[in-house]
Chains A and B, each alone.
Chain A
Amino acid sequence: MVRGRQAQCMMRYVLDAGALIAVERADRRVVRRLARAKVKNIPIVTSSAAVAQVLRDPARQVPLARVLQGVAEAPLDWEAARAIGPLLARAGTADVVDAHVALLAHAGDEILTSDPADLERLTAGRPVRIRPV
């Protein structure tokens, strides 16, 4: 995990499960954002829980599996598990994976999501941009 000044000034894309599905479908809106990330060295992160939702057969989902090699994956660990419940309660939503994605986003990050309404609620009051895909 990168900390300190380096972490504070580096914008990242955070992908939810919907964005990963869009990658699998070669959705042009997502692919062009990833292309921008590639040339601008924008780090991309996602939740292992989102990967678990989407990656059912890596042998058949080759493009997605390859793209995931270029994505940092954050596990839903002890700390996250104890932060997600209170976040869901505050936001009035129920999706554990979306909540983990919201927790991964730092100030300045952009979340690529197929569920902008829930992610808006989960990141309310934080300087995080929501980009529908």
Chain B
Amino acid sequence: MAVEKFSVSLDPELSRALREAAEEDDVSVSAWLAEAVRQRLRNHMLGLALDEIIAEQGWTWQELLDEAEEEAEEEDRAERAAWSEADKRSA
């Protein structure tokens, strides 16, 4: 696989954290950084794609995010209630 080498500047604390994280994940610093960049780029591309869908549908980011947050909270409540019910049954 062709690779391009270039230098980046990081503050020492970030650089140290990067090396530690790569070691903990048992991959090279380059591989760790490449995965982080891929994920960041995917997140960027997702945002661009959603911008178009949201505009086309006449929605807003804020209303969708509010709904998503409410939905997540509802799911958490339902999950906690299910655990609590299971605990009662097993007690």
Contacts and interface: CB of A to CB of B under 8 A. Distances in A.
Interface of A: 1-7, 26, 28, 31-39, 41, 43-44, 63, 66-67, 69-72, 129, 131
Nearest to B48: A66
Interface in B64-88: 64-65, 67-69, 71-72, 75, 79
Contacts of A37: 46
Interface residues of B, number: 33
A3 B50 contact: no
A35 B64 contact: yes
B70 to A, nearest CB: 10
Contacts of B25: 2-7
B21 A70 contact: no
Contacts of B24: 4-6
Pick the 3 closest A-B CB pairs, nearest first: A70-B46, A4-B25, A66-B49
Given A4-B25, A33-B68, A35-B64, A70 B42 contact: yes
Contact of A31 (B54, B69, B79): B54
A32 B68 CA distance: 6
Contact of A6 (B21, B64, B79): B21
B52 A35 contact: no
Contacts of B48: 66, 70
